[in-house]
Chain A
Amino acid sequence: MVYSLPEEVLEHVFSFITSDKDRNVVSVVCKSWYEIERWCRRKVFIGNCYAVSPAIMIRRFPEVRSVELKGKPHFADFNLVPEGWGGYACSWIDEMSRSYPWLEEIRLKRMVITDESLELISTSFKNFRVLVLSSCEGFSTDGLSAIAANCRNLRELDLQESEVMDLSGHWLSHFPDTFTSLESLNMSCLGSEVSFSALERLVAMSPNLKTLRLNRAVPLGKLSTLLQQAPQLVELGTGAYSSGIRSDVYSALSKAFLGCKELKGLSGFWDVDPSYLPAFFSVCSRLTTLNLSYATIRSPDITKVINLCPNLQRLLVLDHIEDSGLNALALSCKNLQELRVFPSDMYVADANVTLTEQGLVSVTQGCPKLQSVLYFCHQMSNSALITIAKNRPNLTCFRLCIIEPRTPDYLTHEPLDIGFGAIVKHCKNLSRLSLSGLLTDRVFEYIGTHAKKLDMLSIAFAGDSDLGLHHVLSGCESLKKLEIRDCPFGDTALLANVAKLATMRSLWMSSCAVSIGACKILSRKMPMLNVEVIDENGTLNPKLDNCLVEKLYVYRTVAGPRSDMPGYIWTMDRDSANKI
């Protein structure tokens, strides 16, 4: 006797399952679960917008309310992906506007979206609530005006680090008088001034506003006005944090911060005048997130702040914090989970800034909950890395950037192989790793052997031969994203691990030693991969199999080759593959 739960019951059970991975697992249990699940899936995450087409998504999941898409490869953040590469949101927005009238949320990362698409979003989805454009480009404040004017139920507008063409600061005035639903606004990336009166009006009519991130152009003198209108804020991003010597500004600000009893996160702090820092000391004891990574203040000032924030979980800061500040962090902030230390000078070690590996060692020692590290520095040693690994086996994300490529252990002049080896050996749940410094193939042997949960790996200026790449591709079972630049990895390792590539989201290799011949072979052997060769300089001769490729981007897809490639991308024509 076959017994199964009624559909409605299963649907109800599934509604408690929100993680994508779990949903995907549920959907392959059996055909009827697949059917039930697909009709009640409300949220779709697509890590590579070219891995699937809008039509396929819509056909499978007809009742989606929230879509998240990512476009360009991660290295686009560092200008390694040429302009015009792709990641266009247009076709997605067009098709969703026809098929998902009840869509509520769109989140895009590293995609190109136009004002026309923004306008289409604003008029197609009656219940639209959340728009997040992270590191996107292609649109202007006109598109934002359309969103403001037409999205009656908008809750969240987040332009995080997007490149917006700033045509006018008046887009904020397009929110109608009846608009009261705003909960989160992040406009910190906007270059020019927004109309302050419009901003004030917006804040005043948004009783549910919890997150407000201003841009640099909002003067400090206006901040207290806004805070007084919105004492319920949980996250605040200030504008420029200086105002000359104005005691009235200071006292108003101080008073306004006193009134913010819910404030848990602070960011912004461009152009900081240290004398204004104490104005927010009253909120420090509640702070869980603090982003001072644009504040060029000195270590003593930073330390003063940190000592007041015992509940800090997330800190982003410049290397001005120095080892002394990190020692203070290790003592004061026992709940710290994430630390990011950025360089103040990109190229040369500032003689006045003493940030070394010691600071990081202290933090890993003192902060038992630390899981995620991004650390830019100028020197590192194997012994420090080993200590870090033993101190913090619970690390899940470890990104170390020693600024000068191929820098060896500064004490022993050895490669940093055993140091990173210790990291992957001890941190068994490590899911993200970025390497730097002088590294041989040996480090990759360690990674392949131990980093079984590694999801994303970034490699630059490392390794000696294909053996290094082979270790990674054959050993890292969970690897989904691999990005490599300037390493002597080439055809042999790539072609020996073609099947692995179909289990990954994507592979990026630039300035390596991969030949066009190998790309052709890879294309032919693996029709489920798009093998895209980027030839920006126009020097590639595709008839010469041993010609090296500048940049290679390989990703799995069910949507076939994409139709929006610029002229500098070469792919293999599938027809010739079928002939063989």
Chain B
Amino acid sequence: MSVPLEHDYIGLSDASSLERSSESSNISSDNASNNVFNIKATELSLGLPGFAKNSEENAAKSGPAIKNYMSGAKRGFSDVNFSGSGKGINGVFEKNQTQQLVSSSYVKPVEEEKKGPVSENGSVPPSAKVQVVGWPPIRSFRKNTMATNLSKSGYVAEANLGSGGCLYVKVSMDGAPYLRKIDLKIYHNYAELSKALEKMFSCFTLGQCTSNGIKGREGLTESNLKDLLHGSECVLTYEDKDGDWMLVGDVPWEMFIDSCKRLRIMKGSEAIGLAPRSMDKCKKRN
């Protein structure tokens, strides 16, 4: 690894997934080419799998796009044919198990490649604060407790306040079969939050309101709410510390994340009932 690879949300870099794909596609090839791929595919070498060694095969079998979105797919992969190479596959893997997998072909690591992101004077530079899900491995209970601990004790330097802790809250959408969880600390304003929720639950419309250039701090204006009503009937609400269900967008962002315990995307008739009252509120405010 001479260059730190960019990692997407799930930590895979595009380069490695492509190499991987062509190596795997070797496995499903039929008996005729078994001899060739036996040796190549079972070679275990240090370095990213498929790197350099299989580059000829990479060119020949260009991997198709890895991430194909499939909507409404049946949750089972029984409909895929196991071709006649099924037996061939079995044969291959039994062979593998007897082969010396600790083969002499594995290459000693080149020291420079292993250093990772280290700068010239030897210190590890602060890496970009990409919040990796589930890292460091600390339970939510502790994370949430520490987040409120730090702000209460008023003890931590201001610079830390933003980066410390995280706040996972559940997000439910009426009619969705399961809930999601998001970390509110990742977002800095309502626009970011709504964009993220929009991605997660595709019918959500608060994003349309705030993307009109209105800052989250000022809450929803009348024109935004009109859009909301005429768009789909989705309203984002949250449960606050007192257990009351509130409309998202009324209070400043910091106050919101301080009091938000969970989120709910309301749909349909309930939502329509909610919005007009808020519209009155906005009228009064404006």
Contact = CB atoms under 8 A, between A and B. Distances in A.
Interface of A: 75, 77-80, 82-84, 135, 161, 163, 189, 216, 270-271, 293-294, 296, 342-348, 350, 352, 376, 401, 403-408, 410, 413-415, 434, 438, 440-442, 458, 460-461, 464-467, 470, 474, 485-486, 488, 490-493, 495-496, 498, 510-511, 513, 515-518, 520-521, 524-525, 537-548, 550, 565-573, 575-576, 580
A149 B171 CA distance: 33
Contacts of A524: 82, 86
B82 A485 contact: no
Contacts of B139: 77-78, 135, 161
Contacts of A537: 10
B3 to A, nearest CB: 13
Given A83-B180, A490-B49, A513 B145 contact: no
B277 to A, nearest CB: 26
Contact of B75 (A470, A474, A569): A569
A150 B171 CA distance: 34
B36 interface: no
A548 B12 contact: yes
Contacts of A566: 177-178
A567 B75 contact: yes
A464 B24 contact: no
28 contacts: A78-B133, A163-B141, A294-B142, A296-B149, A344-B150, A345-B164, A347-B131, A350-B156, A350-B160, A352-B157, A376-B136, A406-B116, A407-B124, A408-B118, A408-B124, A441-B46, A442-B109, A465-B45, A465-B47, A470-B44, A490-B20, A492-B42, A520-B77, A525-B90, A538-B70, A546-B21, A548-B66, A550-B10
A36 B155 CA distance: 62
Given A546-B22, A550-B10, A569-B75, A401 B141 contact: no
A413 B20 contact: no
A31 B77 CA distance: 41
A539 B140 CA distance: 27
B259 interface: no
A346 B138 contact: yes
Contact of B49 (A79, A466, A539, A565): A466
Contacts of B79: 543
Interface of B: 7, 10-12, 16-17, 20-25, 27-28, 41-42, 44-49, 63-64, 66-71, 73, 75-80, 82, 86, 89-90, 93, 96-97, 101-102, 106, 109, 114-118, 122, 124, 126-127, 129, 131-143, 145-146, 149-150, 152-153, 155-157, 160, 163-166, 168, 170, 177-181
A78 B78 contact: no
Contacts of B71: 538
A464 B28 CA distance: 24
A403 B23 CA distance: 33
Given A296-B150, A543-B77, A346 B145 contact: no
A438 B116 contact: yes
A493 B126 CA distance: 34
A516 B140 CA distance: 31
Given A465-B45, A537-B10, 9 more contacts: A78-B134, A347-B129, A350-B156, A485-B11, A538-B70, A546-B63, A546-B64, A572-B76, A580-B82
Contacts of A491: 23-24, 27
Given A79-B140, A441-B46, A545 B102 contact: no
A565 B149 CA distance: 37
B68 A539 contact: yes
B79, B93, B166: most-surrounded residue (chain A CB, <10 A): B93
B67 A539 contact: yes
A48 to B, nearest CB: 20
Contact of B160 (A345, A486, A521): A345
A569 B126 CA distance: 37
Nearest to A320: B155
B160 A573 contact: no
